[in-house]
Chain A
Amino acid sequence: MAIEGADIVKAAAFLGAGISMGLGAIGPGVGEGMVAAKACEAIGKNPKEAGLLTRTMLVGQAVSESTGIYSLVIALLLLFVV
């Protein structure tokens, strides 16, 4: 297998993109699930506030999502820009 400088750099960028998005997806997935579990608990305890609780859940999850989006941005930069 012929390995040249440009080739190995591209190969590392592709591998890095996969690792970035793959590992970066773990945290938001777990964190957002935790939020949803607690939102269900809160709705079970106080169903009258279901609307408010769902809204709070979504805002919290959106913030937790941000690190996943950073991973996606870095992965796309590694694939298409660098």
Chain B
Amino acid sequence: MMDLDIQAWVKVAAFTGGGIAMGLGAVGAAIGEGYTASQANLAVSRNPKISGDIFKNMLVGQAVAESASIFALVVAILLLFLDKGNPNLLKAAALFGAGVSMGFGAIGSGVGSGFPGGQACLGISRQPAVSNKLTTNMLIGSAVCQTPAIFSMVVALMLLFMDFSNAPLHPTWAALVGAGLSTGLAAIGSGYGGGMAAGASCEGVARQPEVVGNITTIMLVGQAVAQTPSIFGLLVSFILMFKTFPESMQLQSAMALLSAGLCTGLGGIGPGVGNGMAAEGAVRWVARNVTHAADLMRTMLVGQAVSQSTAIYAMVVSLVLIFVL
């Protein structure tokens, strides 16, 4: 009777996790691709003669944005059909955590990847001669946007395939759900922010194609800094997955670990978006005033560092929850 109950719980967790992974995972890519298509329509109306080039670029951009939700589809299918192996309640927590991580994690990257796609389509209608440069810049920018979704997928796959059966159920179950929340939520901001920087760079390349090198450089620096909150999320997830916690039947030790994941995850959203905004402003104005690229880079980095501070506070609170309490 008890065995049957545990098996049922593992299935409940896997199916709920699979639903969350694909349901939330579909949100971002759909919005991002819709944005790309809307800008492509605008671009065709401005310059109908090159509609073929615009159409081609739209499809390439949308294909990259789609990848975030394809990751979610893969994780959801694994959750539905994977052999659950030796069922225990920790496995149930790990499977649910995997779904949460991938579902939230795909939102930001999906929306963000739509911005460079749309701006590249508009850019081609304005400057058809540099469509190759625009498509290349779009691909670099939207590929970097996918990183937070890839982090989420890595955490989801580790939760799916690692063997936690030797760890004590209490409080490790909360650590595994927290690990999913941490990377998944933190990826929202970084994916969206990276997309803002990439969109501004495609607009900038169409405006000043001769300074494409400067524009791509500042875009990549800005995106790299915008990625930091999701790296904090990944770090806290790894600590929660790999640290062994002493068995404790108290609710407070479980809640401390769940809260640690929630704190770094939620705390990463704002700084990720904010860093992306700062990078968007800097990239846009490097394209307009390249002689002051160094000043803009400096101000962008100072502004991003300040914007980062609250993500660092959140990580500190999480580490206190994990190691001190």
Contacts and interface: CB of A to CB of B under 8 A. Distances in A.
Contacts of B267: 21-22, 24-26, 29
Chain B residues touching A, majority SS: helix
Interface in A44-59: 44-45, 47, 50, 53-54, 57-58
A79 B323 CA distance: 12
A45 B288 CA distance: 9
A32 B303 CA distance: 7
Contacts of B282: 36-37, 40
Interface residues of B, number: 64
B313 to A, nearest CB: 5
Interface string B236-276: 00000000000001111011101111111111111111111
Contacts of B276: 33
Contacts of B317: 17-18, 21, 72, 75-76, 79
A82 interface: no
Contact of B255 (A12, A30, A33, A39): A12
B309 A65 contact: yes
B277 A33 contact: yes
Interface string B300-325: 10111011111101100110110001
Contacts of B302: 36, 54, 57-58
A22 B255 contact: no
Interface size class, chain A: 35 or more
B269 A36 contact: no
Contact of B325 (A19, A62, A72, A79): A79
B252 A14 contact: yes
B132 interface: no
B281 A41 contact: yes
Given A22-B263, A44-B292, A72-B313, A17 B278 contact: no
Interface of A: 1-3, 7-8, 10-12, 14-15, 17-19, 21-41, 43-45, 47, 50, 53-54, 57-58, 61-62, 65, 68-69, 71-72, 75-76, 79
Given A43-B292, A47-B289, 19 more contacts: A3-B251, A11-B251, A15-B258, A18-B258, A19-B259, A22-B265, A25-B266, A25-B313, A26-B266, A29-B189, A33-B275, A37-B303, A40-B300, A43-B299, A44-B285, A44-B286, A44-B292, A47-B295, A79-B317
8 pairs of A and B residues whose beta carbons are closest in the complex = A36-B303, A33-B274, A29-B270, A44-B285, A22-B266, A37-B281, A18-B259, A36-B278
22 contacts: A1-B170, A2-B249, A3-B251, A10-B252, A11-B255, A12-B255, A18-B261, A18-B263, A25-B270, A26-B266, A29-B275, A30-B273, A32-B303, A32-B309, A36-B303, A38-B281, A40-B284, A57-B303, A58-B306, A61-B306, A75-B263, A76-B317
